[in-house]
Structure 1
């Protein structure tokens, strides 16, 4: 962190006491948990291609946790990709401390038969829902008063998400799968989650643009894919592009329209792979007559969704632009309005180990 930069307590507050493994090792890796966990009445919060997430508590505790379960078919295989990916995700989260990034509380393993296992990761907080559900269902189906509250939430989340992404990039972390389903909220607070596709730039790395990534194609930047649909590894400003597309959907709801309306407008009867980056000209037209969000949509369309990634703003640049819109897109209760995560001169002067990512952004490594 820049030496002269004040970091508000709101940005580094940890999880409250959960009762998990009190006085014992919290990250068990190969071992069973000694702390009993109970599934709450909310049960399963979501399912993905490789994982299931459910809400749990330690008996006697009031703090709910999200428990991510991944089935690993051959737990002892040296090349078990699921296990390697989970360790990388946990390491990233253990070393991240930002108010808008989920916190990892612990992990453990339970055998299934002789060769398989369930691997569990405990996360805080247990979210109300992801941004995909929030935008497409909760906002659409709510009454007028509740919808007005939700729109207020969304307006504050632009700066929160840009700040969290700037934090990640400052520390050399690329998320690489930014989409509404990988952003969650608990009340009025929003969080990045699911870092299973992420990577950390190591000191001395030759940052490649050829290793595969798994970013969802709908929200992928143009440089993140070959024409045949294969995914590419990418730099920090590719994350910015994906976040810009998430912002497009958030702005759509703010202007009183639905995500279904947006996709019908830009894709119509498109046959084949739907990708926002192929219809940017239609996104421009979609917001042309929207006065309520004109300033912010201009930032997104003109600075985040440039076709050439070198022409895009950094995540901190986006946060600065949103911050300059003043109180309409800020919350006094959130420290995002005070902090900056891009001070190249401070990184160079105060850290022995520095590097740049594919887009030339300085990072701590």
Structure 2
């Protein structure tokens, strides 16, 4: 693949900042604005910039807004502010949104930030809190109280169509835990064995306890600026080769709809994003060195491996079980433990890990890593993708 695209390599991530990954609800008494503000300040400091240099925001997730952040941090003026909608799918797209603003001239230096705080509503059971409407009637009446229950139906269909097994799901969970053990800021530092995995309680068949992501509080921010300006800052620029969000109509509301064609139902809904992302970057799956897949459930990692072209449809399970996804494999995946064992901050952890890998400072450093894929979702549209390079 080749060809010109106006966003390719025109911008770069120059700073990353994060709070600790708190267990669900344990960030109190810190407020969401404190968490997000701390991550932003850390990212600006990491870039070697000043608060006054920020003139744009690209948000993912909620609980904070532009005016409050400007007042709290002392940012004098912004010329661009926007937010990606969705519920889990937009994290990678926030960087693409920032890149678009910079290339268009709407802003010079943009903060991408996402935060999560589960002091009240637990996201693992969020669908149980939805009001009764015609749109919620199907899953509410079926007792599908959280995303893990709904995505279990997609996993079961993938197993039926392609022969995917729980052994394949276990390979994803065990890889994530092995990577988290060597990552200082990861949440889980207790080893996980195959025996542990299969002895765990079944939450929503075929998803057991270890097929579910963690439930954390925290915030992560990234600073994006022009490639020209990035050359003069503190760290090696991590260039944005491509960043996009959206998706195909047949995926729609994904787990809240359940009316997709069979091939789409047993997928991650990322195929349309993958095609556009590779075309934008001018590369293909063979050029990706590491992948940070949105791993709210093990089954959806397997389906993303397929949607992004690393193997044929239905072969994601054997691909994961082959060892290819290990740090020393052909496609290292979620090298910090991902959301299954590292930390769950709406997918923003994957952006952090991709940047650290390409800087050469990651805990589980992949030798020679130069190009990274980051995904947002599977979830309700928009889902998103990002390709970064050294």
User: TM-score normalised to the size of structure 2?
Assistant: 0.24
Structure of greater relative contact order (alpha carbons < 8 Å, 6+ residues apart): 2
User: TM-score normalised to the size of structure 1?
Assistant: 0.25
